[in-house]
Chains A and B, each alone.
Chain A
Amino acid sequence: MVASSTSKSSLSVTLRVWRQAGPNQPGKFVDYAAKDLNPDMSFLEMLDVVNDDITTKGEEPIAFAHDCREGICGTCSCTINGKPHGPGRGIATCQLYMRSFHDGDLIVVEPFRARSFPVIKDLITDRSAFDKIMQAGGFITVRTGAAPDANSIPVPKHDADLAMDAAACIGCGACVAACRNASAMLFVSAKVSQLGLFPQGQPERDKRVLAMVSTMDAMGFGNCTNQYECSAACPKTISHDFIARMNRDYLKASFRSVFKPVSNSTGGGAA
């Protein structure tokens, strides 16, 4: 939760914003004054107001990613004063309110920084590497229409609850931006754990973790060195325990992929 400043009076701040015209172009910080702000304004609404000012002056406004503005779509992505999604625990940038700043503050706003998230423009980065990891194995193969009755597969409440904790991930990439190794292990482990906790996820459990981890490596994300900056920055406070769970899964799957007997028949009728 964000601590709220007690006064309801307006505040003025200076924004130091990363401006970069396009990919592979040099960027720089530019200062903007944001005056007479209502503390109940969200951080992104403040950027809207600043952008309208910039537009009226005939300049190009600051490009920033945003959409749902309620902390669930995972589009917004700034690093604010060095922290992905800014101060406050368990929130995305769109859930940050100006009441968490003080009059006269200097606020530094940058894009998420990571080798695998190249800057597209200003504060917007390319996070398609996450989609690639999902495409490699972030699913349970079930053709539409082929599912048994939902209550024919009971799932212990404890497992379902834990799976939901992991599934809460919004795919924003703050975990990567917060990590000194730009590791995506919190993101990947959340999906691996969610699906691995269900009986439905067992047939592909080994294949899934191996494919997702190898794609994660191929996309240039780093490894985990147990600093847990990822869970601290995560807007859904997803626990780093899932990383341990994934490492366990990965290890088991690696052994099994070597020692498990394999059928000589390849297709076996699978379409």
Chain B
Amino acid sequence: MAKLESKVPSGPLADKWRKHKADIKLVNPANKRKYDIIVVGAGLAGSSSAATLAELGYKVKSFVFHDSPRRAHSIAAQGGINAAKNYQNDGDSVYRLFYDTIKGGDYRSREANVHRLAEVSVNIIDQCAAQGVPFAREYGGLLANRSFGGAQVSRTFYARGQTGQQLLLGAYSALSRMVGAGAVELHTNSEMLDLVIVNGHAKGIIVRNLLTGAIERHAADAVILATGGYGNVYNLSTYARQSNATAIWRAYKRGACLANPCYTQIHPTCIPVSGDYQSKLTLMSESLRNDGRIWVPKKKEDRLKEPNAISEGDRDYYLERMYPAFGNLCPRDIASRAAKRVCDEGRGVGESGLGVYLDFSDAIRRLGENGVRERYGNLFDIYHEITAESAYQVPMRIYPAIHYTMGGLWVDYNLMSNVPGLFVLGEANFSDHGANRLGASALMQGLADGYFVIPYTIGDYLAGQKPGSRPSPDAPEFKAAEESILGVTKRLLSTKGREPVSHFHKRLGKLMWEHCGMARTASGLRQALKELPQLREEFWATVNVPGSGDTLNQSLEKAGRVADFIELGELLCLDALTREESCGGHFREEHQYPDGECKRDDENFGHVAAWEFQGEGKAPLLNKEPLNYETVKMSLRNYK
């Protein structure tokens, strides 16, 4: 049984982080250079932590499977980043950002972590502005804000529709500076395939050089995983095609607990699926909900009519009707389920019937076409490229899609997993978003973890490790891990069955979406848990991975990732089945109020579910970390 000690400091909520920083151990500057730290992943959390730790004097090795750190999928975040700056003088504060995030997460996140996130949010904006991130500005030269779902203040900073790109390029430039200075050793085209544990501590990784196929061993004093979420379990998602869960899954299999995997986020505003060949669902930023109005026809028979031919009286602006206080800006999980509900009623639009309108005609009347173009031009362009339709003339058609995973590896307040020496940052950990993440909070968390949390907390661990005590990569644990990876690779390459990897990924995705998507039932989840092991067996028996292991081989890369997705999918369904309540992104049809809202069960499920691997073929062990709410009262989320 894993020991889950949250290490949340005592004392009043607002003082915890300050007190903790004063209490934890430090590593003196001359000793820092004696420690090697491995950082896997180079998105917001990975790049920002690698750069900052190198600035502090640690020797950092950065690993990324992309050809450059700048490609990580943080780059695709469109809308913005939250910070409690209160530059708008509209009543924002650290407490309000904290409270909105806790409430948005449906009371399933850790209070102390979320409060710290809100506290450091203001430093992130300062840091990024100083790096030259081109945030949107007002005519006076000061920073501009926009509003986002789940909040009644304007606290979102943005750079056109490319905020993630600009923040990532800021972190990438900080990382590049340290690479240029020789303080970070950069390993591109390097995919982590295993975590190496020596005497119970994470002390290294095994990577495959994707260009040469060489399997390499790397030892360090601590390992940081910042490898993102696992949403591609669903195959079709807004994730990048290569985003994968292999690093966290292999860490899970080495003993790190995976927490709340069933908390997956479905984004309400994506472009609907058009065919079986589809590889990707494209997000239309939530910021569009500021000015766009969402509706479907009131009458089923109108659903294939030209939208502009449906009169105002025959339209159902269902979010405005159901949630008058927040309207089109209600949180993502609520907006997604509402879309599903109206489509299930047979009022969905488009050929497939799985779509709702996002209409800008009112905004165009109010702001003029140019005004709308200035705010959302690039998003309208993306929409046009994909659908060949102009959203200036006809409403967009949108539908929810998998977008983010709130679950991830379990971490304590120091962001360390239950495996000492293994730290997990950003989307890869579980800690800050509870059962639902608010818009513009992912960028905030990635950078908070990387710039402002890990640089302090990693010292507390390293101070207890003797300088120079890290094992050699020749240690037997490294050899054993390498051999197990070579074994898996050989098995994948030698099957030479009849089906390409994509065949299994598509089937997995359909199964997961059907039984463990926006609405889940016990019987559906049991069905999925029956079919997934069959799919896994079929995969290993009939997959076709052409080519060899000693060269660039994209089929082999995909095969390893999909094999892990199938296993993770099983754990996800098990977690969803075990959590007999509805909360945030996890909606069990058996547990709802008459109006369709989530019915939580705080008494029995007010905990973090941290699953622990027990060996192949064995049921994983469920560990529970109780969520102690000291400041906020767990209550029914209300956006009406």
Contacts and interface: CB of A to CB of B under 8 A. Distances in A.
Interface of A: 1-2, 4, 21-22, 38, 40-42, 44-46, 48-49, 51-52, 54-56, 58-61, 63, 65-75, 90-91, 95, 97, 99, 120-121, 124, 126-128, 130-131, 134-151, 153-157, 160, 163-164, 167-168, 170-171, 194-195, 198, 200-201
B93 interface: no
26 contacts: A1-B385, A40-B388, A56-B544, A58-B546, A70-B283, A73-B71, A73-B73, A73-B76, A75-B71, A95-B382, A126-B67, A134-B173, A136-B180, A142-B174, A144-B52, A144-B174, A147-B123, A147-B127, A154-B141, A163-B132, A164-B166, A167-B159, A168-B160, A195-B132, A200-B130, A201-B132
Nearest to A215: B180
Contacts of B551: 21-22, 121
Contact of A127 (B68, B136, B211): B68
Contacts of A164: 134, 136, 159-160, 166
B33 interface: no
A97 B142 CA distance: 40
A41 B240 CA distance: 17
A121 B138 CA distance: 47
Contacts of B126: 147-150
B544 A148 contact: no
Interface string B173-203: 1101101100000101000000000000000
B173 A140 contact: yes
A171 B70 contact: yes
Nearest to A150: B129
A88 to B, nearest CB: 8
Interface string B272-303: 00110111101100000000000000000000
A270 B508 CA distance: 55
A65 B242 CA distance: 10
Contacts of A45: 277-279
B500 interface: yes
B544 A65 contact: no
A122 to B, nearest CB: 9
A90 B278 CA distance: 22
B68 A55 contact: no
A149 B499 CA distance: 56
Contact of A138 (B48, B173, B386, B500): B173
B615 interface: no
B137 interface: yes
Contact of B452 (A38, A136, A144): A144
Contacts of A147: 123, 126-127, 129-131
B176 A131 contact: yes
A97 B76 contact: no
Given A1-B381, A145-B127, A147-B130, 12 more contacts: A56-B499, A66-B241, A71-B385, A72-B165, A73-B240, A127-B68, A142-B127, A144-B127, A147-B129, A157-B141, A164-B134, A200-B132
B496 A58 contact: yes
B131 A128 contact: no
Interface string B58-77: 00000000111111110110
A99 B174 CA distance: 41
